[in-house]
Amino acid sequence: MKRRFNSTGVCVPRKHYMVDITNKLKEIKELIDNEFYFTINKPRQYGKTTTLNELEKLLNEEYLVISISFEGIGDSTFEEEKDFCNKFLKIMITSLRFSDKEESERLLGLSQNVNDLENTSEVITKFIEEASKEVVLFIDEVDKSSNNQLFLSFIGMLRNKYLLREMGKDFTFKSVILTGLYDVKSLKLKIRKEEEAKYNSPWNIAVDFDVDMSFSPREISTMLNEYSKENNVDMDIKAISKELYFFTGGYPYLVSRICQIIDEKIKKNTKETWTENDVQKAVKILLEEKNTLFDTLIKNLENNKELYNYIEDIIVRGIDKSFNNYNPIIEIGNIYGYFKNNSSKVAISNKIFGEIIYNYMVSKLENTYSKMDNYNFKGEFLEPNGGLNIEKILKKFQQFMKEQYSSKDEEFIEHHGRLLFLAFIKPIINGTGFDFKEVQISEEKRLDVVIIYNNFKYIIEMKIWRGPKYHEEGINQLCDYLDIHELDNGYLLVFNFNKNKEYKEEKLKVNNKNIIAVYV
């Protein structure tokens, strides 16, 4: 069987190319060896189930591992204590059947006539007291039922047994790992405010889980190395790994999906060399896909207007936000995997999510303001060499703003201006190129747009006019950014809200860079 990249379900080494997560597993095992209870709460499609599966293999020789999941357990199971307890013990028995049939049958014998959590606790005590090895319990997809009072009573029972064990008065699991989207210590996020007092979490025995489950460039390279050797495909593994990380921030699903697109769509049935340009092409394809991860992102934005506005402040208006885990909006964005702590400031966790959000916000604006069709006809801006005439695009946008929005108030343009430009260039670059954005925190609220079109790269900086001093500083920063991208030409789109402003154009030569500035 030929191995492949996998972006659905659990990854299996014999079937799939996988990142080497040995160091992460060792870190988690150390927590288990030290008898800690903890929760692995990470975003959807972040490799939690795959990690548990690989961890179980690592632990099996030393421990008796019972790995279960609450995925697929119906709500009716949580209506009656007796039903829940019997279901819990049954799935434990089933799990053990595949690793230790003898222990499975022993647990089955102990599990007769269980009516409540007290009986369940007694079964666990008897089973572990006579077990051949120390017992570790994994419960995956735990937050499927974590807003249910019976579930909280259940983990309260596990907590009580843990405390009694510490005092030498009970036998229980050496370690318990709960995995899901939410931290069980933060269940109040999922329930109505009027019920928060009822749902105080009994999981305060858990230690913090600080293992970084994102993939570093070095870890990504281990998967590419496997693929390269097995398929005799040449590539600069270090450069490709860095490019993958640049777009994904190491988000496991995104890394695997981009590799899958390159293998199965861009380089299908060939042994051609992989390049950084292939990663960019795959990103473009990915951004046009409809999948459950992106669907959930949009749904969460639509269902939480405060989160939507907060993200819009960051990525569109360039407003500086301090990172504080106690801020409920930051906390929920962090749980969903949308935010990261960037030098104590809130930032979008990866460029893919940023682009999905930009594209969605732009499309909503297009639904409301549809006056661009007479200005942004694609063929008007194409160069004979296959590139784009960015100067012409900016001047046409200037004309559009002057004719359509000159009478609009300052607040409207400051709020929507940058999104209007992103909407303006979208039909010009679609089909051949793509763009990504870099928020630059500054007094001028800068937003850099990097356009990849065929084999050409262009950088357009959008900013608000804050006076000549900040303007000069911004131009120097743009020159530095052009250096990073090894470009000699850059572009400025300046939004000026002064009443006596001019719709003008400037051509500058700064630090051996050619800068074209267009004011709107």
pTM of the model: 0.89
| β-pair partners for 493 | 462, 518
**Rounded to an integer, what distance in angstroms lies between the CA atom of residue 262 and that of residue 108?**
49
> Helix or strand or coil: residue 109?
helix
Quickly count: other Cβ atoms within 10 Å of residue 163's Cβ. Answer: 13
**Rounded to an integer, what distance in angstroms lies between the CA atom of residue 264 and that of residue 496?**
47
Tell me whether residue 217 is exposed, middle or buried, using C-beta atoms within 10 angstroms of its C-beta: 0 to 12, 13 to 18, 19 or more. Answer: middle
**Rounded to an integer, what distance in angstroms lies between the CA atom of residue 284 and that of residue 181?**
28
> Helix or strand or coil: residue 209?
coil
SS (H, E, C) 210-279: CCCCCCCHHHHHHHHHHHHHHHCCCECHHHHHHHHHHHHCCCHHHHHHHHHHHHHHHCCCCCCCECHHHH
Are 68 and 99 within 8 A, CB to CB?
Answer: no
Q: What local confidence, expressed as pLDDT, does residue 380 receive?
A: 93
**Rounded to an integer, what distance in angstroms lies between the CA atom of residue 248 and that of residue 256?**
10
Q: What local confidence, expressed as pLDDT, does residue 190 receive?
A: 46
Q: What local confidence, expressed as pLDDT, does residue 83 receive?
A: 92
Joined together, the tokens standing for residue 19 give 């990142």
Token pair 């790994």 is found at: 241
3-state helix, strand, coil in the chain (%, to 5): 50, 15, 35
Q: What kind and span of H or E run contains 137? A: strand 135-140
Q: What local confidence, expressed as pLDDT, does residue 500 receive?
A: 76
**Rounded to an integer, what distance in angstroms lies between the CA atom of residue 332 and that of residue 335?**
5
pLDDT tens-place values along the chain, 520 residues long: 789 999 998 999 999 999 999 999 999 999 999 999 999 999 989 999 999 999 999 999 999 999 999 887 777 777 889 999 999 999 999 999 999 999 999 999 999 999 999 999 999 999 999 999 999 999 998 876 655 778 888 989 999 999 999 999 999 999 999 998 776 665 544 444 444 444 456 788 999 999 999 999 999 999 999 999 999 999 999 999 999 999 999 999 999 999 999 999 999 978 899 999 999 999 999 999 999 999 999 999 999 999 999 999 998 888 889 999 889 999 999 999 999 999 999 999 999 999 999 999 998 887 766 678 889 889 999 999 999 999 999 999 999 988 887 666 666 677 778 889 999 999 999 888 888 888 765 555 678 899 999 889 999 999 888 888 888 888 988 998 899 889 999 999 998 887 777 889 999 999 999 999 999 8
Token pair 């500035």 is found at: 517
